[in-house]
Structure 1
Amino acid sequence: MIIVLTADSKITGRDMHKILIPVDGSIHSMKALRIAADLAAKYQGRLYICHVLLRGKDANDLMALDISNQFDKPLHQILNKAISANLGPAPDKILHKIGQIILDHFAEKASSHDIAFETLDILDGKPADEILKMQEEIEAGTIVMGARGVTHSESSTFGSVSQEIFNRANCTCISVK
């Protein structure tokens, strides 16, 4: 686990009252949920689970998600046909369906932790921008997210989205690997 803190470099209980957790179906976001849930339980906080559409991802990328075992048979068939036909980026309808599966899965996992949580509407836009807008909107004191998402970037310690968020955020950021 890597923790990136604000200039104050001190986490307080106040920071943990509202915890935003962006999820993308990756194993890192699954680990981030567990840590965010532990923090919420310790500080009587509330989790806000969000997902930004996986724009630009093709069927191969979507089938490679750690959460793909949650896809129903018709969705698997659609994605496998798209892989065979090399159709390029997945259409909005598929991205929204997968986004809802991801949110539902993470909500189910959060409910097993006996903590307060809320799933937010699916976001659409540049991931870092959307996550930071949501952080400001709900006034979250902390963002907990996976260090690497579905891009599996090897070029830096953090994935490009998490690195951008940590550079721009006005709150405590915790990166989970």
Structure 2
Amino acid sequence: MRGALPSSLALLAMLGLNACAPMPHPGSAATSGETITVAVGPCFGFCPVYSTSVAPDGTVRFEGQRHTAVLGERARMAGMSTYRRLARDLAPFRPADGTEATIDCSAAVTDTSPYIITWTDPAGRKTSATVQSGCPGGAGQALVQRLRALPGQLGIADWAKQTTRPGASRG
């Protein structure tokens, strides 16, 4: 019986220490190893259309589709701190795991580019949020401001730069 008491106390102490350990925030990309993809869709004019993804190790992948300086795929290493910052900046707008949401705007400006943010976990489960780039107010406005700064933060601004080619159609 005497040996059981110290063992029980040791177990309780270990459990108590675990209770003090920081717990990952539910839905936090930085703690779950999710890849974060931001796709910028077409507008009524000659807006850049591209997607970029950032892996937890900081690898940035870019695919220019239309009206970008670079068409096709490129990759660069931005670093884990860039990934962590992006995950932190987008966390307030991330819907519940496995769901899709539209971020509220005070008014919908429909001829602007949509942004679609997708968090993909290691098992392939996707969570996504959509917002219009012309969002003049509400939660969407704060998100759009963060997304407009994204090319510079990821080092892809020169690739994503708006470029109109002869004969290219709008949209």
- Which has the higher relative contact order, 1 or 2, with Cα contacts under 8 A spaced 6 or more apart? 1
TM-score, scaled to structure 1: 0.26
Larger Rg: 1 or 2? 2
Judging by fraction of residues, say which structure has more strand.
2
- Which is helix-richer, 1 or 2? 1
